[in-house]
Structure 1
Amino acid sequence: MTKGANVANKVLRVFKMKRLAVYAHFGESPKVARYVSYFLKELRSLGFEICFVSNSPVSIESQSEISTLCQKFIQRENSGYDFSMWQAGLAEYDLSKLEELLLTNSSIVGPLQPLAPLWKNSSVNQCDFWGLTDNDEFGLHLQTYFMVFRRQVIQDARFMDFWRSVLPLKDKQQVIQNYEIGLTRRLEENGFKWKAVFAQKRMWSLFLRRRSFVKKIGDWYYNRGLPGRNTTTLLPDLLLQCGMPFLKAFAKRIGDWYYNRGFPGRNTTTLLPDLLLQCGMPFLKAALLREPHCHVSPKMAFELLEASSLPVEILEELRLKNNPA
């Protein structure tokens, strides 16, 4: 087990694989959650070498399990949030031969569907780095829970300069401003192009179109009673996007929220989880399972997971831990 990143006279790991994933973990229990192992197995199947970095104590039993999935395990003090964990992981490697780097963390549950299609998505073909979602709060940027960097970025000295500059900040908002927003901004200023697979602009456009459509359906139901159950005429948008109409109730509740209160923010991972999942988003934010976010209750979030391909034993563990009401 490696204690932190600053080990004197260490030999940097030479890659057998050309893809590295650095996974930043934080858990309330020493036992690593099953959804974490499930994600790591999927990354292994995609050919990633995995470096697991934890800012929280990990039990001997969980360390043993993690060691079967990851080439490197780092246990460190709880400081600096995800960026300090990624910094610690990257410091262990010689990146000169690396073709692709994935930075991700334990704030997301999944994958709820295969990850491989993400790399075939047309929106990420012509870019230097990409992620799943972007956010324009405090400045447009990629959200860092899942970011992929290609060789041209990794081999640029300014990329590693950024990581060497990371400090173990205690204020989370400072971390977001300096590093989450700062990373996208710095790379963009250096001429690198980025994309979000589920771009905010596209998701809100879909939502606004659906809001209008669902409101019409809702008005009909509320004013005249059930006019029939033909989904081909009542729910064509849902059928086309995901093949099933199970999110109709969520869409109506979302529409009510925005009609009555206006837009409370623009973070699609917490405001539009249902729409993201329908469009192919493979993860759900773990925070949604613990406490309400605007219109999305933990119960609603669990219903989304139940409709996915997530194994039953993982769902049961999440329910025991979070006890949704």
Structure 2
Amino acid sequence: MRKADRPLVLDVVGDRVTVEHGADVDVTATGRAALVAQYSRGNVMSRSLLELVRQLDDGGYRCVVVSTCESPEPLVWPGELPAATVVLRRPNLGYDFGSWAVALDRYPAVAALPRVILTNDSMAGPFAPIAPLLEAFDTGHTDVWSLTDSYQLGRHIQSFFVGFRDGVLAEPPFRTFFRKVRVEKEKMDVVHRYEVGLTRTCFGGGYSMSTQFRSNDLGVGAENPTLAGWQQLLAVGFPFVKRTLINDPSTAPGAENAAQVVRRRFGVELSDWL
């Protein structure tokens, strides 16, 4: 599809972004922010999303949850949100990259912060504290850091949890990248153009990258490590399970046993986190 047929998310969304929680929050106050993309059909949020936001907040990150929930009703949370959390509602256009683009457009000062995390609700968990992962990001030395990478469609960092250090997100290559996120009809178009495209932007701009759980170390070849290597990831300290393998066990080896594996390793019931 031509670019002319794929309008920019920021142009289409326009003024159709509302603040549902935290209108008076200073999202730059701690020098750390996390932009959390959320999607669901119904307005009841998962324990996983709440726990992710709580742990990020405990780590000093001001969270901006950008929801594309299809229900017009206010979001219902399974517990109390941290007071300094912002919740934005927007039309369901542009997938996660569209949500991050909207957040960066609304709060442009966030991009220049010393630590910024882009994440989403595509994972169940965290079933264990993410403080060690946040510390690894905080103390690292590369410009861009990710939890996982993949060689599917060519080597790239996976976008469900990516960190940017020392204000690099405000530099022209990344500013241009997010301002030019377009409305895509197919999820794989998003993967090609934006998930893989983000890594190309890093390479093209000469930015250094590092990954906490490297695909090469998991022995999954060119397959998606969060699917093909989900059990290996849990074994090395990854506290999440991808929702896709829960909703469709045919997508990952042994996925039909995910509830038992999570119960044995973390002592929790997977169904309570969905």
Q: Fold match, TM over 0.5?
A: yes
- Kept in 1, the 8 Å contact 2:31–2:113? The answer is yes
RCO higher in 1 or 2 (8 Å CA, sep ≥ 6)?
Answer: 2
Normalization by structure 1: what TM-score? 0.70
Q: Where do 1:90-101 residues align within 5 Å?
A: 90-93=104-107, 94-95=109-110, 98-101=113-116
In 1: Cα distance, 2:64 partner to 2:251 partner: 35
- Out of 247, 251, 255, which is 1:290 matched to? 247
Normalization by structure 2: what TM-score? 0.82
- Kept in 2, the 8 Å contact 1:141–1:180? The answer is yes
- Kept in 2, the 8 Å contact 1:51–1:70? The answer is no
Going from structure 1 to structure 2, the CA distance change for 1:7 and 1:13 (only over 3 Å counts) comes to: farther
* Structure with the largest fraction of helix: 1
The amino acid across from 1:281 in the alignment is F
- Kept in 1, the 8 Å contact 2:27–2:63? The answer is no
Q: Which runs of 5+ in 2 are unaligned?
A: 1-11, 19-23
- Kept in 1, the 8 Å contact 2:245–2:252? The answer is no
Answer yes or no: is 1:102 the counterpart of 2:117.
yes
Going from structure 1 to structure 2, the CA distance change for 1:289 and 1:82 (only over 3 Å counts) comes to: same
Going from structure 1 to structure 2, the CA distance change for 1:178 and 1:198 (only over 3 Å counts) comes to: same
Answer yes or no: is 1:299 the counterpart of 2:256.
yes
- Structure 1 residue 77: Cα displacement: 1.1
Tell me the residue number matched to 2:31: 18
- Out of 30, 48, 52, which is 1:39 matched to? 52
- Structure 1 residue 14: Cα displacement: 6.0
Q: Which runs of 5+ in 1 are unaligned?
A: 208-262
In 2: Cα distance, 1:167 partner to 1:52 partner: 20
Answer yes or no: is 1:60 the counterpart of 2:74.
yes
* Structure with the largest fraction of strand: 2
Q: Deviations for 1:252-283, whole angstroms, at most 9, x for unmatched residues?
A: xxxxxxxxxxx7x5111101111111111121
Going from structure 1 to structure 2, the CA distance change for 1:304 and 1:167 (only over 3 Å counts) comes to: same
Q: May I ask how many residue pairs the two structures share in their alignment?
A: 255
Q: Secondary structure of the equivalent of 2:199?
A: helix
Going from structure 1 to structure 2, the CA distance change for 1:70 and 1:289 (only over 3 Å counts) comes to: farther
Q: Where do 1:308-319 residues align within 5 Å?
A: 308-309=265-266, 311-312=268-269, 315-318=270-273
Going from structure 1 to structure 2, the CA distance change for 1:187 and 1:66 (only over 3 Å counts) comes to: farther
- Structure 1 residue 57: Cα displacement: 3.5
In 1: Cα distance, 2:193 partner to 2:50 partner: 30
Tell me the residue number matched to 1:229: none
In 2: Cα distance, 1:60 partner to 1:28 partner: 12
Tell me the residue number matched to 1:145: 160
Q: Secondary structure of the equivalent of 1:31?
A: coil
The amino acid across from 2:272 in the alignment is E
- Kept in 1, the 8 Å contact 2:117–2:163? The answer is yes
In 2: Cα distance, 1:66 partner to 1:6 partner: 30
- Structure 1 residue 66: Cα displacement: 6.8
- Out of 36, 43, 51, which is 1:30 matched to? 43
Answer yes or no: is 1:195 the counterpart of 2:210.
yes
- Structure 1 residue 189: Cα displacement: 1.4
4+ runs deviating over 6 angstroms: none
- Out of 103, 110, 113, which is 1:89 matched to? 103
